[in-house]
Structure 1
Amino acid sequence: MKQYPIKKYLYSLTGVYQILRITLVLYILAFILKLYNGSDVSSMLVVTRGWSETDAYWTEKSIAIFLILLAVWLFIKPVILNTFLLMVFLIINAIIVYENAGRHFYELSFLSAMAKWVLPLLYLSVYLNLKKPDSGFVPKWLFFLTRFSLFLIFFVHGLGCLWTHPGYIDYIIGTLATFSGSFMKQSIAENILIFIGVVDVIIAILVLIRPWRNVLIWMVVWGLLTSFLRIVDAGIFNYTEFLIRVPHFTLPLVCLLLYKIKKPAFTK
């Protein structure tokens, strides 16, 4: 088998497929770990539906087992059925989290989750495109789908910053305290947050208009940084929050690679 240099491998649909493959597995793993440790599902079943704690517990663990099997199936071969099942789970989970939260700003989490609903579809699309004779070409709709996902992620994050999300303020103050030992006034943190929000919204609009290389690189770096802050702020045991945000920096990377691939030729 011919060996390709790493750069040439990445700038191919095969490389994009592998990145999406790893992203999807890590993303599903985050849900599995959340279910294993106790999630909003059991709370909803007990509080809202009146289930016993035992029934809710085993239901939650059954869903976790289902996701493990689904992750293995998707890793081996994505098909319409397993893609559809994962998308349905993500939609239902987002609704449960939204309804069970009972607090402001969770509509933003619901909108942000919409961007990840297309992740399984994107994964399947790239896989099917690899099977075609002209697999070196990238469909326009596939490229736009990736950009629209990025738009949702960064636009929603920007709105949260502009609305001075309390959790984001805590991240700023907590991160500064962790690294410097000093404490920032909340008013200063709010001003920083508003500035970040403006930048995020601008970046989101730019990627929807045209995927400039520097914009995508910024998204990769910023997505990785904000995801990693979940661990910095709350400790290593908050790793599930990092895993669930892996698409925040891998999707911009995928978009960057697709943009490179599409330059020689771009299907209609």
Structure 2
Amino acid sequence: MALLLQCVGVFFYLKGGSAIETMLFMEMGLEQANSKLVENIIAWVFLIFGIVAFLKPDKYLLVIISLLTLALAYIIKRQAGSPFTEWSIPSHFIRIILPIGILLLATNKQKNIRGAYWVLLVGLSITFITHGLEAWSLHPRFIDYLLISSEKTLGIRFKQSSAEIVLKVIGTIDILVALSTLVFPKNAVFYWMAFWGFVTAFARVTELGLGLYPEVLIRAGHWLVPISLVWLNEIRNQSKVP
């Protein structure tokens, strides 16, 4: 389900205009209409592949989705249109690695289930650590999310200086949580990651409205993968019982 939602989110994200169109038009000299056409084709590829992979998780298809997601992250990094785009690949890492985790789970073998657990855990941890570093570095967008979303949803109005302190605390927690899961993988921590992953993804909507729902869908792995890790952690624990 996480991969399907992610692909649906990418579809609507690309339909609204992205770094792909900019690269094709500005760097490769393709006409704007043709650049948009190519971008729309890629959007449909993500959607169709996501639906097919949800219905029948074919290994080749899952690898292609992973590579396409990696390519998209690289293009965003290359365009460098906003702060911290150079961290796009580690920031998107759970989206990139998610199809590989599903590929391992699809085999339904015990050793591959353990492999899927670690693939998803490491991918999620890298994404959380990267977001934590961005927060600690006072990512301008994160400050906007905090200032605007807290006022709209909680009625709390932060000063800029206070928001920066809160953001550094959030960044520290994200990093510590991600590192702790690699050493002491506890279900309670995974539930926290699921909650916080959804809150931070939905901050795009609370800041600028429902029109940004694709941004929430793209980040489905941020809040659904931790839930799957709870399930996989239980399987791992059961396999250790004689």
Short-chain TM bin: over 0.9
The yes-or-no answer on 1:86 pairing with 2:65 is: yes
**Can you list the C-alpha shifts for 1:112-158, whole angstroms capped at 9, x where unaligned?**
112221100111111111xx5xx6x7643222112111211211111
| Secondary structure at the counterpart of residue 38 of structure 1 | coil
CA spacing shift, 1:254–1:180, aligned 2, 3 Å: closer
CA apart distance, 1:221: 1.1
Q: Which amino acid aligns with 1:60?
A: E
- Who is 1:257 aligned against? 231
How is 1:1-268 mapped onto 2 (pairs within 5 angstroms)?
22-129=1-108, 139-179=113-153, 183-265=157-239
- Distance across 2 between alignment mates of 1:154 and 1:68: 26
- Distance across 2 between alignment mates of 1:213 and 1:248: 15
- Distance across 1 between alignment mates of 2:190 and 2:19: 33
- Distance across 2 between alignment mates of 1:138 and 1:66: 28
**Can you list the C-alpha shifts for 1:70-126, whole angstroms capped at 9, x where unaligned?**
123212211221012111111111111111124431123321112221100111111
Q: Structure 2 regions of 5+ residues with no counterpart? A: none
Instruction: Give the number of equivalent residue pairs.
Output: 241
Give the TM-score taking structure 2 as reference length.
0.93
- Who is 1:14 aligned against? none
CA spacing shift, 1:162–1:128, aligned 2, 3 Å: same
**Can you list the C-alpha shifts for 1:202-239, whole angstroms capped at 9, x where unaligned?**
10100011211221111111111111111101100010
Q: Which amino acid aligns with 1:55?
A: N
CA apart distance, 1:182: 5.8
- Distance across 2 between alignment mates of 1:229 and 1:82: 31
- Is this contact kept in 2: 1:139–1:266, CA < 8 A? no
- Distance across 2 between alignment mates of 1:114 and 1:176: 27
Q: Structure 1 regions of 5+ residues with no counterpart? A: 1-21
Percent identical pairs in the alignment equals 28
CA apart distance, 1:266: 5.2
CA spacing shift, 1:88–1:214, aligned 2, 3 Å: same
CA spacing shift, 1:75–1:139, aligned 2, 3 Å: closer
Q: Which amino acid aligns with 1:112?
A: S
Report 1 or 2 for greater relative contact order, CA contacts < 8 Å, sequence distance ≥ 6: 1
- Is this contact kept in 2: 1:138–1:266, CA < 8 A? no
**Can you list the C-alpha shifts for 1:221-266, whole angstroms capped at 9, x where unaligned?**
1111111111101100010111111111111111111111222215
- Distance across 1 between alignment mates of 2:145 and 2:217: 17
